[in-house]
Structure 1
């Protein structure tokens, strides 16, 4: 449903509910999250790009929300349990990450006189090095020891890495399709099924070298004006191309239907373990989409891969 249609429906709802006090809300379910707001299911009607108040954070498909109907529907808040405990845990995890990103030395000062205060020890030889994250580590060799040394922190798990595609495109009838600006699946006009792809060169392999991959996720956004507005599935495949081929785009493992999106929506796919292993080892090089006919026709952008290590 277009924004204009949503506005018209909102007016109809307002008329039907004319006896209700201004500012009343109704329950609705979020179908998808978009860059403008959310797509919601309200009594079987799909409302697109409904704006949300700023306090509605961490939006996701499946949320039940309080919708204020009217000429311009607005999502007021999320319905459900108090998210306070979840927020506390998330804030604490972020704080730990920030602390680990900083140097562990509180202060570094010097002078010609001895330091003031207690607990200082004389260093016979000072060693320092830079670890794999670029953080400085110090070790002081003492002539005599008056206090036990604190334990060195455990080795930190490598931070997640996000890799954007180096190229993308669409193929139709065995060759690149110059009429599609973004990866596209299916056939809307009867001129042949399209297959789209994202390419990463050796960036994924290089990022995974010497590390244990715990998870790979990919973020996609369904573009507006491609196919029907309702949710449709992405038909995902692996491919083995480093860069866009001049001929046909080969499809390997697949299809996997890991994500469905309504128009304008953004979603994240978690790749199956065999797929992430192939990408990490270089046995596969990127992702592709392909569908037959108009039912699941759509154009998709994004393709950033986030790799989490253990």
Structure 2
């Protein structure tokens, strides 16, 4: 029986038949499986399932909860989400349009084209733009201004997954913690964790202007307290896991707080994305001392967006 079921059973045993069957609660975090951790009647209740009608789940939402042997989130309270969903659909459509090339008309034949305005092309040139999409340029013999130039689209967003990750303690890899971990839980001393990307980040950014870098993390279950803890993030300059100590560079930055099982996204500072894009830094690490912020984390995908050059 998990913690949500235990909490529901405790409510049932308390004999609260006269209390409302539905209550409101605040979402603390969303888990990697799509469940939510709730601040429910003053207690942190993790891994509460949700109905399909509760879409676009996010920390901070106020929701209606059906009480029982196992609490269930029914729906979000608040404004109609239609506007937010419309913006998301528009963003997805614009991203898909980057892979499309529009041509107003395409015909062929054995003779010259009919109608007015046609011009003979003396040379035809082609190249790939920053997105790898072909461009055509027609050189003509007459003096005629070109049509309006299509605005240059930024390069497509890329996602870089770590090639390796792990934990270190006492200056060497930790045999007892496979996931990146921060803090001290036993008397053996503090752990530090790292994510490694080889040279993939700098390669993806080469010749492009980076507008943002975001990194996705998930808080691992069974490591530390259930309540939210901050990730103490650092940069490092390793392309792969070191056999000795994992060195820490710039940091710490507390960009994200996660409760047990929760997923979240942190936006990296401008100075950090510059170092990662140039290759001066190669990856991310976590480190702290003490047990207050002890926790283990997985994922580590970095999402890089670019601006038009």
How high is the TM-score relative to the length of structure 2?
0.89
Shift of 1:148: 7.4
Partner Cα separation in structure 2 for residue 280 and residue 149 of structure 1: 36
| Contact in 1 for aligned 2:216/2:264 (Cα 8 Å) | yes
The 3 A distance-change label for structure 1 pair 43 and 102 is: same
2:183 aligned with 1:186: yes
**How far apart are residue 169 of structure 1 and its match?**
1.2
1:43-100 deviation digits (Å, cap 9, x = unpaired):
1111111111223222111111111111222111111222222222222232222223
* Counterparts of 1:59 and 1:272, CA distance in 2: 25
Q: Deviations over 1:213-252 (max 9, x none)?
A: 2211110001111111111111111111121111111111
What displacement does 1:188 show? 1.6
Q: Are residues 1:251 and 2:244 paired?
A: no
In structure 1, the partner of 2:101 is 103
CA RMSD of aligned residues (A): 2.4
State whether residues 123 and 140 of structure 1, in contact with CA within 8 Å, keep that contact through their aligned partners in structure 2: no
Q: Does 1:233 align with 2:206?
A: no
Indicate which of 169, 173, 181 corresponds to 1:172.
169
Name the counterpart of 1:261: 258
Distance 1:275 1:70 in 2: 47
What residue in structure 2 maps to residue 67 of structure 1? Answer: 65
Moved more, 299-308 or 150-159: 150-159
User: Which residue does the alignment assign to 2:219?
Assistant: 222
Q: Quick one: distance in 2 between partners of 1:148 and 1:211?
A: 30
Unaligned runs of 5+ in 1: none
Q: Is the 8 A contact 1:169 1:198 kept in 2?
A: yes
Aligned residues: 304
- Residue in 2 that maps onto 1:308: 305
The residue that corresponds to 1:206 in the other structure is: 203
The whole-number CA distance in structure 2 between the counterparts of 1:112 and 1:306 is 50
Q: Distance in 1 between matches of 2:206 and 2:145?
A: 37
Normalised TM-score (structure 1): 0.89
User: For residues 292 and 33 of structure 1, do their structure 2 counterparts lie closer, same or farther at Cα, with a shift above 3 Å needed?
Assistant: same
Q: Secondary structure at the match of 1:86?
A: helix
Which of 44, 48, 57 does residue 55 from structure 2 map onto? 57
1:152 to 149, 152, 173: 149
Looking at structure 2, the residues matched to 176 and 120 of structure 1 have their Cα atoms a distance apart, in angstroms, of: 71
Q: Stretches of 4+ moved more than 6 A in 1?
A: none
Residue segments in structure 2 that go unaligned for 5+ positions in a row: none
